Chains A and B, each alone.
Chain A
Amino acid sequence: MSDKLKQIINKQSEQQNRDTLDQSDDIVQLVGFIIGEEEYAVPILAIQEIIKPFSWTRVPQVPPYVLGVFNLRGSVIPLIDLRVKFGLTPKKHNDETRFFVLKQGDEVAGFVIDRLTAAIRIKKENIGPAPETINGDDTAIDGVGKQEDRIITILKVDKLLERDF
């Protein structure tokens, strides 16, 4: 019994050690999601919550990618369809669709994404700048993260939350 306990404690401390190691190693924590065919990610700290889709209210005189507003426990929050915003055709919501509620400062908005992937820990050195052609002040791309088998586009939260109409 005590052996088992010891084992567990050892494991935990090991885990902790690894965690601290990771932190010292300039690790960025992201949450990945899919829109269309691409995988994107935003910093985990910018995410207030991830919820299943529910009904929203249309708002007139806004670009098509602003679906409307919805009620998040008493706050009225805008809902933005990232598919449409990224130039894809709108898709019906299904079981995998989620609302990503992002927050920065006082700005809060919900974003519709096709599917969640995973929480990602990625070393800073593995994040490259956005490709030259889409570089500039206007881009919503913060950088490109390289994992072993895939490439993840990291988005700028402040750009996403910025009103651009």
Chain B
Amino acid sequence: MDEFQEILQDFLVESFELVEKLDEDLVELESNPEDLELLNGIFRVAHTVKGASSFLNFDVLTHLTHHMENVLNKARHGELLITPDVMDVILESIDLMKALLETIRDTSSDAGIDVNDCVVKLDKITGGSGEVEAPPAVAEAAATPEPEPVQEESSSEQSSDEEEPDYENMSDEEVEAEIERLLKQRQEEDRKKREAKLAAGEDVPSMPDDEAKKEQTPKSQATPAPAPVQKSTPASKATQQKESPKAAAPAKRAPAAVEQTIRVDVKRLDHLMNLIGELVLAKNRLIKINDDVEERYEGEQFLEELNQVVSIVSLVTTDLQIAVMKTRMLPIGKVFNKFPRMIRDLSRELNKKIELEISGEDTELDKSIVEEIGDPLVHIIRNSCDHGIETPEDRVAVGKPEVGTITLKAYNEGNQIVIQIDDDGKGLNPQMLKDKALEKGLISEKEADSMSDKEAFTLIMRPGFSTAAAVTNVSGRGVGMDVVKTNIEKVNGIIDIESEVGKGSSMKLKIPLTLAIIQALLVGVQEEHYAIPLASVLETVRISKDEIYTVEGRSVMRLRDDVLSLVHIGDIFEVERILDASEHAYVVVLGLGTSKLGLIVDTLVGQEEIVIKSLGDYLKGIDGIAGATIRGDGGVTLIVDVVALMDIAKGVKATALTESTTTTVNEKTKASDYTIMIVDDSKTDRTIMRKALEPLGVTLVEAVDGLEALNTLKQGDHNFDAMLIDIEMPRMDGYTLASEIKKYNKYKNLPLIAVTSRTGKSDRMRGVESGMIEYITKPYSADYLSSVVQRNVKFKSEFL
């Protein structure tokens, strides 16, 4: 059973790949009906699927593909001209084939889909020439070739077809003989093929492939029938000369198919990617440690060696990451492939003439992103077909070529992939868009007036917006472009719309290369850090507070010619304001889709490569947070979800830089309510201070250095009324401690008393600068210390 499953999996993967390519080929075939190379390719697909499905006992699928094969075989031998109507039937059958394959994938059986209608249609095409939907033209084309080659071919074809059921009845020897015979036949054919190719190569160097194939067919039958060859040549020459680059493409593609590849389960690649993620984190950590070590052991011999190792590790990690990322990359052609078919169907449906030009289909994108952008592109292209391109009559009337063109191209631009969809249709009329939006109540009159053309274009992305007068099968429900926006934003992409009335419109989707590991801008607010995906950051600006204006209760600033609305990151993430806000702030200008927002932060920390980790089920769906990452120091930093943040920002009022100072005064009822911290690295000194203050009955807390003191203070277990600080201490000295403490709003008024043996004037000056209010020099008398403390904590005399 497992073996069967394995074979089935392989079969499905292969079939889906084949079918995907089939669509593209078929549409090309329609415009180029006599391209034998293409026909052969398509025939082979049907044949392969048929062969495999009969082996796996999928009777329905076998039945369908068998009939497809018949039709294609006829076309291949020039007995049947592929007209749009024949093509419709073939395409229908391919759709059925896809549906069958999907059923097989989901249920492991091909039951439940009725293929009879289609089979009958296919049969009609192969069987009778005139009776079916096939118009007279087909009948003629099918009838014109001399009857002899037709019979010859079909008989040889039939013989090979008929052989199949016979095998079961054959005896062993007969089978052996049959195999022998087939082998010989095959070898013979091959030899002739080679000869023909050689001959053709000499005779007609311009297009060896096609000519060779055409000649080879009659030759292998040993009855040269020049008629069909001659008949087809002028026509195909005409088309091929026009399409020469296209015709050359499949020939070039052929060797690519034999490239050495291994199929790898996507799960393994995902796992590999996760491991790389861990490695990147470890690398970040290593770099940080290296920096620390460098600081501490400056000039030491081993530093250089360490430096080398660290840089090699980081280099290799980066390379490795790129290499693994590349294994996950798929050419965007995988998505583009389905569009020729779609355009074809749409143009027939809408009675328009539309041509699709694709370029850059080799551009590669991460698998997960390729999966996400399929839908948006479908909607954009449908939109272009329906609203963009005019009817042929209209186009001729305004002096444009009858056939409208949609260009789909993909290219790399820095760290991003740009997918550009252009059409030469009627373009977007900003005024009309505004009117429509007003009518539907999506915007207010005031908004409409202040809207630039570019902003007006973005209206088409609003849910519920549609410019189509009537809802058609294709569009007009006002859902499509909304989907585009959501999906593109999901992959952190940006949408850029440009348009000129009468000339056409152009839409650019800018998408990051990968999702798992991203470049991020780290920003600080108070004591917290957040990571913002760099792809969404347009620029950063340093501003002073008076550059921020308040308009209708919202903060805004002027950024060159634009007005940018602002929001403080602290307001969005409910950050407690404990640190004093400085006079200056930084604004991170975020751009997403088409909208912009300025995010006020306290500090910019820097750019870092981060690995996105999910917050897990318990915390998922927190507004504004896309995930978390682990930093070089082992701490966790949250990643900002720019999409959600922009939504939240709409509801945030301007509290940006206003400060609320609420000081709680605790009434002291007894001496032990007073709490004083003693910070000194010497135990003796601490004991002396303790002895001096104990008689007062106050609570005393000790710390052995600045860092410990700061932590004790931050923990907030005690409400300190004063601190006695020694200046010279390990880890963090008294000056630093004092200036750290003074950064906090709530410790503004906490008396800091220096107790030190440093008596120089400059020392005293430094003490004052860092925020100390008293300076006691050692040695001191216990009474003096006590009185200084009493004075500073406003010790109530009744407790004495």
Contact = CB atoms under 8 A, between A and B. Distances in A.
Interface string A125-165: 00000000000000000000000000000000000010100
A57 B278 contact: no
A33 B574 CA distance: 32
Interface stretch (B131-139, B385-393, B617-625, B751-759): B617-625
Interface string B599-631: 000000000000001111111001111011010
B573 A78 contact: no
Nearest to A164: B618
Contacts of B635: 55, 57, 71
A109 interface: yes
A76 interface: yes
A115 B89 CA distance: 75
Interface in A24-73: 55-62, 66, 68-71
B618 A163 contact: yes
Given A69-B628, A75-B613, A108-B616, A60 B573 contact: yes
A164 B638 CA distance: 22
A144 to B, nearest CB: 27
A27 B627 CA distance: 41
Given A66-B619, A76-B613, A92-B717, A61 B634 contact: no
B572 interface: yes
B281 interface: yes
Contacts of A74: 278, 281, 630
Contacts of B663: none
B114 interface: no
Nearest to B617: A107
Question: Which of A56, A62, A71, A163 has the most C-beta atoms of chain B within 10 angstroms of its own C-beta?
Answer: A71
A71 B634 CA distance: 7
A78 B636 CA distance: 11
Contact of A69 (B615, B617, B634): B615
A120 interface: no
Nearest to B636: A57
A84 interface: no
Interface in B723-762: none
B431 interface: no
A92 to B, nearest CB: 5
B171 interface: no
Given A61-B624, A71-B636, A92-B717, A78 B619 contact: yes
Contact of A61 (B574, B614, B715): B574
Interface string B256-281: 00000000000000000000001001
A76 B625 contact: no
A76 B618 contact: no
Interface residues of A, number: 25
Nearest to B622: A61
Contact of B628 (A76, A92, A163): A76
A163 B614 CA distance: 15
Contact of A60 (B278, B624, B630): B624
A121 to B, nearest CB: 30
Interface string A101-113: 0000011110000
B319 interface: no
B622 A78 contact: no
A128 B138 CA distance: 86
B488 to A, nearest CB: 25
A76 B528 contact: no
A122 interface: no
A61 B572 CA distance: 9
Contacts of A163: 617-619
A60 B628 contact: no
A70 B574 CA distance: 19
Given A71-B634, A74-B281, A92-B715, A60 B616 contact: no
Contacts of A77: 616
Given A57-B636, A92-B715, A76 B615 contact: yes
A161 B281 CA distance: 28
B619 A69 contact: yes
B337 interface: no
Nearest to A58: B528
A157 B780 CA distance: 60
Given A60-B572, A61-B574, A76 B616 contact: yes
Contacts of B638: 57, 59, 69
B407 interface: no
Nearest to B616: A78
B617 A59 contact: no
A6 B615 CA distance: 55
A68 B617 CA distance: 14
A59 B625 contact: yes
A107 to B, nearest CB: 6
Nearest to B613: A76
Contacts of A66: 619
A92 B716 CA distance: 8
A163 B621 CA distance: 11
B10 to A, nearest CB: 30
Nearest to A80: B618
A59 B640 CA distance: 11
A109 B715 CA distance: 24
A66 B281 CA distance: 26
Contacts of B574: 60-61
Nearest to A66: B619
Given A74-B278, A76-B627, A76-B636, 9 more contacts: A57-B528, A58-B528, A59-B615, A60-B622, A60-B625, A74-B630, A76-B613, A76-B615, A163-B619
28 contacts: A56-B636, A57-B636, A58-B528, A59-B615, A59-B622, A59-B625, A60-B574, A60-B575, A61-B573, A61-B625, A66-B619, A68-B636, A69-B628, A69-B636, A69-B638, A71-B630, A74-B278, A74-B630, A76-B614, A76-B627, A76-B628, A76-B630, A77-B616, A92-B717, A106-B617, A107-B617, A161-B618, A163-B618
